[in-house]
Structure 1
Amino acid sequence: MPAWIRSNWFLLALAVSYAIGHFGAFAMQAVADQVWLRSALVFAVMWAMGVTLKPDAIRRSLKQPTASVLAVMTNMFLVPMLCFPTQLFLSDPMFGGLMVASLVPCTLASASVWTRKAEGDDSVSMVATTVTNLACVVVVPVGVWIALAVDAEVPLLAQMKKLALFVVLPMVLAQVMRRGGLTGSGLTGRGLGEWADRNKKRISTAAQLGILVMVFFGAIKGRIFSEQSEEALLGSLPLVAIAALAVHLIALGFGVGSAKLMGLPRDQQIAVGISGSQKTLMVGLQIAIDCGVSVLPMLIYHVLQLFADTLIVERWRNRKRRPEAESDANSV
């Protein structure tokens, strides 16, 4: 298998999953209508992501919470505010989808991975991830109700209950199991934590497969309930992509810049920028499907944040290594 396919398999699989669901929507509608299956899938993926979070790293960041608070505020409040102006030029389904993308929490996987790649403080990203995912039970339903009340009938309390049950509960349960809150034989307590640490890559891959299934479901729902023609849908994609990328980059730049102005060290500046601007695909897909808005903006935001942050992280790493290499050369 070529190296570029191995490194980008998930992005390619996203495109394939969406295409299959979109073009085969009416033939496979019965599968996507299984609400229990979607809910169980979300629960399993959130548990899998939650069990890989290390409590020690979170405790370390909480001792100096400035960077984590800044990342949380950027993720929960700045990103949605940046999305509001897009209502002027995006269709209702696309604006609704982008608004949902802006409201969902920080991604459980890539924020810490990309922060670590950039040699940032991944404990900050872990705290931002944990807090935004726990707070989403209130932030997401209220934000959707405020932004999309005219376009979508969103039962506020029902949405809160759903998020608490399928996002917050599996994360809490995973951490309780990891910390030894359950007794008995098998993978519990420290045994589960050690197993999760050893198999983090496999767990992440399994979670990604769950996300692909949700993309498939979302494509089916989006195609069936969309009032846009294929031509109008394709014509709106460039605008959605520009808007999503602009929102992400502005939030990332604000996070890094504000952390620098506050005198935080470089590794925390990186963590604030990345975790303050990244959004989770899994929860976004579920909310978009529930609200009857397009899942495309959530997919586009997710793909573009991975591409953009990969390039930015590589530039940060090269910039840091250049002075180190010059110092080594001068010392010879």
Structure 2
Amino acid sequence: MKFSVINILKKEWFLACMVVAIVLAALIPQVGQSDGILHLNKVTDIGIALVFFLHGIGLSPQALKNGVSNWKLHLFVQCATFVIYPMLWVIFGQGMLSIMPHALAFGFCFLFVLPSTISSSVAMTAIGKGNIPGAIFNASLSSILGIVITPLLIQLFMGFEGVQLDIMSSVMSISKMLLLPMIIGQVLRPLLLSTFEKHKNIVNKLDKYVILLIVFNAFSDSVSEGVWHSFSFEYVAMSVLICSVVLVSIVQLMVWTTKRLGFSHADEVAAVFCGSKKTLAAGIPMAKVIFGSDPRLGMILLPIMIYHPLQIFYCAVLANRYQKKAFAI
């Protein structure tokens, strides 16, 4: 039993550390708060830039070229990400605002308008014997489109609730934080790729370390400002339930739709995984820019923090099923 727990913790260290970061924020918020002892607001900005610089180095231009021609797949994935998901807020947003704190409801709004994730979408597609070039292209395209579309949708949806954003400022800030380092990484890829490959294990964990620092910082700020005083466990349970229902419903809708559209097995796998997933790695930095120093940031981030492990688990199960199906074909 002891060894099984240790093995689980080793395997799921990131999720365990997210919990630890939240607990530490509750116990010692003065350490993690912005402009506190560690100055995490500045440290995380540097970390985010470094992570996306490394993403730029690791992104293969050839893989993007190989995936560019499948317009049917591209259209499906981008519509799923930036149309179907946001429609959930259009349909259910007012209901959410009426049953939970507005910051938590806005967190779901933010979750629904986020772009897809790159690394896990491609990884799940590979496991499921899907269209890997198509997955790389769509996940990357989604991330780039999200730099503009996510702030626009946030303003559109949350503007009705009196939340005003400087759209151009948000887009420019997100571009500088995420896109510019990625472009620089692409430019320097020929020079740095061999070094990148040698240290890939460390590089692959760096984004998780940065996310943990951002989570610690965001929750420390919200604890310091007393945001959680009126928050109950019921809201956490409600958030888990909503995230679970949304994830399963969206995935099953995509499975059903891709079959009706006559997608091949490879394209179906890529479409389902790229279209259903939401990015934590880019989402948290985006939230930092869009919501700035809002002390409710920790609560706003809660839905994506819950959604992330759920989508990893559920999509991993689905990827294994797709793999068995591919071998049976």
TM-score normalised by structure 2 residue count: 0.86
Question: How far apart are the structure 2 equivalents of 1:116 and 1:198?
Answer: 22
Question: How far apart are the structure 1 equivalents of 2:255 and 2:199?
Answer: 32
8 A contact 1:97–1:288 mirrored in 2 = no
Structure 1 pair 126–148 and aligned structure 2 pair: CA distance change class (3 A): same
* Corresponding position of 1:193: 193
Q: For 1:162-205, what per-residue CA distance to the aligned partner results, in whole angstroms no more than 9, with x for missing partners?
A: 11101111222222222x4xxxxxxx1xxx23443454333111
* Corresponding position of 2:239: 240
Of the three residues 41, 47, 52, the one matched with 1:46 is: 52
8 A contact 1:48–1:207 mirrored in 2 = no
Displaced runs of 4+ in structure 1, greater than 6 A? none
Shift of 1:142: 0.8
Question: How far apart are the structure 1 equivalents of 2:10 and 2:203?
Answer: 17
8 A contact 1:52–1:200 mirrored in 2 = no
* Corresponding position of 1:287: 286
Q: Give matches, 1:107-126, under 5 Å.
A: 107-126=117-136
Shift of 1:3: 3.0
Q: For 1:101-149, what per-residue CA distance to the aligned partner results, in whole angstroms no more than 9, with x for missing partners?
A: 2222211221111111122112222112211111122111111111222
Give the AA of the match of 1:15: V
8 A contact 1:278–1:305 mirrored in 2 = yes
Question: How far apart are the structure 2 equivalents of 1:23 and 1:132?
Answer: 37
Q: For 1:34-80, what per-residue CA distance to the aligned partner results, in whole angstroms no more than 9, with x for missing partners?
A: 54333222211122223222211111111223212211221122112
1:307 maps to 2:306: no
Q: Which ranges of structure 2 fall in alignment gaps of 5 or more residues?
A: none
Shift of 1:16: 1.2
Between the two proteins, the alignment pairs up a number of residues equal to 311
Q: Give matches, 1:76-115, under 5 Å.
A: 76-84=82-90, 85-89=92-96, 90-115=100-125
* Corresponding position of 2:187: 176
* Corresponding position of 1:203: 203
Q: Give matches, 1:128-147, under 5 Å.
A: 128-147=138-157
Question: How far apart are the structure 2 equivalents of 1:199 and 1:255?
Answer: 36
* Corresponding position of 2:176: 165
8 A contact 2:53–2:185 mirrored in 1 = yes
* Corresponding position of 1:14: 18
Of the three residues 70, 73, 86, the one matched with 2:76 is: 70
Q: Partner of 1:279: helix, strand, or coil? A: coil
Question: How far apart are the structure 2 equivalents of 1:277 and 1:68?
Answer: 13
Question: How far apart are the structure 2 equivalents of 1:61 and 1:259?
Answer: 18
8 A contact 1:70–1:255 mirrored in 2 = no
Q: Which ranges of structure 1 fall in alignment gaps of 5 or more residues?
A: 181-187, 325-332
Q: Partner of 2:303: helix, strand, or coil? A: helix
1:156 maps to 2:167: yes
* Corresponding position of 1:229: 229
Structure 1 pair 226–146 and aligned structure 2 pair: CA distance change class (3 A): farther
Of the three residues 54, 57, 60, the one matched with 2:63 is: 57
Q: Partner of 2:130: helix, strand, or coil? A: coil
Superposition RMSD in Å: 2.3
Question: How far apart are the structure 2 equivalents of 1:275 and 1:302?
Answer: 14
Percent identity of paired positions between Structure 1 and Structure 2: 18
8 A contact 1:72–1:276 mirrored in 2 = yes
8 A contact 1:107–1:278 mirrored in 2 = yes
* Corresponding position of 1:298: 304
Q: Which moved more, 1:80-89 or 1:141-150?
A: 80-89
Give the AA of the match of 1:73: C
Question: How far apart are the structure 1 equivalents of 2:227 and 2:313?
Answer: 30
Question: How far apart are the structure 2 equivalents of 1:121 and 1:198?
Answer: 27
Shift of 1:229: 2.4
* Corresponding position of 2:264: 265
Question: How far apart are the structure 1 equivalents of 2:56 and 2:256?
Answer: 29
